[in-house]
Structure 1
Amino acid sequence: MIYLDNSATTQPDQQVLDSYTKVATQFFGNPSSIHGIGMDAERLLRKSREQAASILDVNSHEIIFTSGGTEGNNLAIKGIALQHRNRGKHIITSTIEHPSVIEACIGLEALGFEVSYLEVDQSGFINIETLRKEIREDTILVSIMHVNNETGTVQPIREIGEIVKQYPKALFHVDHVQGFGKVALNLNDSHIDLCTISGHKIHGLKGTGLLYVRNGVRLYSLAHGGGQERAVRSGTENVAGIVALVKAMRIAKEKQQDIKTLDKLQQKLVEHLQGNKRIVINTPIENKAPHIVNFSVPGLKPEVVIHALEQYSIYISTKSACSSKSSDESAVLIACGKERDIAISGLRVSMSYHTSEQDIDYLCEKLDVVIKNLGKVMG
């Protein structure tokens, strides 16, 4: 099996699974309990929080554990909006954000908030000067993703942070779900106030993640209860999942040393795709993540190509897994100004550090066969 849908989810690392099993078996106590079993779980939770903070080079009290990217993005966006609605109701995001950001903003519009959606160019980059024009004195939040999950476009986060910090009422949230472990991001240097990370994108487990919340930033809680996670995200902590998340984060940071390997594999795939006149490459040439290649084969339905490749035990995808069963066209490619025949035929190859050169060679070989055969059928 050649699995190339790692932007949708990754195969859990065995070390991560072992960590989860050990903690779930031996440290099953409620960390809020005051007896010994509960205190053992609490100590493990505290240690995991410190380790996560160390990996991100932040303070441990700035870490809030969540169930993943969607919850983290919703908590950041709605939490800031509801907490600070008295000092402004203007929010800025982009047209190519993950559905958990776009839909959260749409939900806030229904509550009376004003949202400015920054358009992007054909490569998926926002225009910094447009951001300068759109940001206002009553802007309370700017939410821009680091790496786009469909095209791999890397936004100029540090430049954005420099602009946002000039507005005292505005906070800066970054969806770092696709970037962590693959594209370096310094939270402090980039003036980031809130940052989302998801476990299952880095060979961790589904249902695990964290939200970095800079010291001094206040959020309105979306889950009231026992006051866990700084009273922002109440509920008994998933200690086993949290330990597994931190283990996955540590492995991902170590693997990032092999980033040049992913670069070479991406270049190899792109060069092959460029040799096929039927293929249009949507991933930008520069400022792109090393693990994602998005391309279209106009005239061929992407789901047909995907199932044809599956016959060779090759697994790729089309657009975001969170929206792959909805409308035919990719909202991201449409936002990039792509023609409809390109937007409805987008395909995504997303690699991991487990991907080999042989995997890419085999994909290239079979992709050519599939496109040729389907081309004959489609006439």
Structure 2
Amino acid sequence: MKNTFKILCLMLSLSISAFCFAKEPLKIGFVYVSSTGEAGWTYTHDQARLNLEKVFGDKIKTTFIENVAEGPDAERVITQLAQSGHELIFTTSFGYMNPTLKVAKRFPNVKFEHATGYKQAANVGTYFDRIYEARYLTGVVAGYMTKTNIVGYIGAFPIPEVVRGINAFTLGLRSVKPDAVVKVVWVNTWFDPAKEREAANSLIDQKADIITFHTDSPAAVQAAEDAGIYAVGYHSDMSAFGPKAHLTAAVHNWNGFYVKKVQAVLDGTWKADDVWEGIGSGMTEIAPFNKAVPEDVVNKVNALSKQIAAKTFHPFTGPIKDQSGKLILAEGEVMQDKDLLGMSYYVQGVDGNLK
């Protein structure tokens, strides 16, 4: 009886020890500038978050906070996540850059990954995809599909990331239709469906028969569907919002990157670095094509995509001139990353003021 009691005590002691030393799940936080929704920028990050839960199961616990304004509010939210035990925090909008760095300085043991930024620290890494590669390809599609030779483009903010996308799309468009024009309207917001819809309608009034955008909602796709014209989506496949209008989309895929970073934290090998990958790694994709896009166009775009992935073709290959006609890149030259990252001018073919 005494032996049985000793055995039971030992088993209980071992159980308590196992419970006490069981590893807590890695807490991961996500800060979103808009709602998760059913499409768009934030949607793509949240799909990657959900994928993490499938891949890692009970090894991790994720938290997300949506509709966080850039600026002081972002710093408050990021601080709350750090204070509540989150060991890895993804801040997913350009305007979160400085707030992320400020919080990171106060919490040196927390690891941060900031999307689209250019400032790193010992515990702050940055990441983005070379979405300009897919932008160029969607411009090629637009070149084959436009009849008016006028394409409308809704821009969020005039920062290099957005300008680079406009220029890449324009270069793709004019590789097919050298006289085509891209008309740009700035809305100065990442997410405002009403403003985006209004901008789309103004571009339609200017004879644009294809609309694309660098904003978060599918409002422009819906406007194109209602107007009976085409649209090129952005961030994610938005065909559900305009089945007839949506030709294709330039798409982000964060799944692999997020898995890699979480695994690195779990393994104790995480380090702050600057990641900028594209079609070749699967971080950038192009959405399925509308049936209205001719098969030969699909084949041409797919062939170009393979060339980009193999690094035998670069969307920013000279000759390239700016809006005023000044030569920016000589024939055959490939633009360097530092010049892509600091892009602050329109290429020829863009109609609008950069402000």
* TM-score, normalised via structure 1 length: 0.35
Higher strand share: 2
State the structure with bigger RCO (CA 8 A, min sep 6), 1 or 2: 1
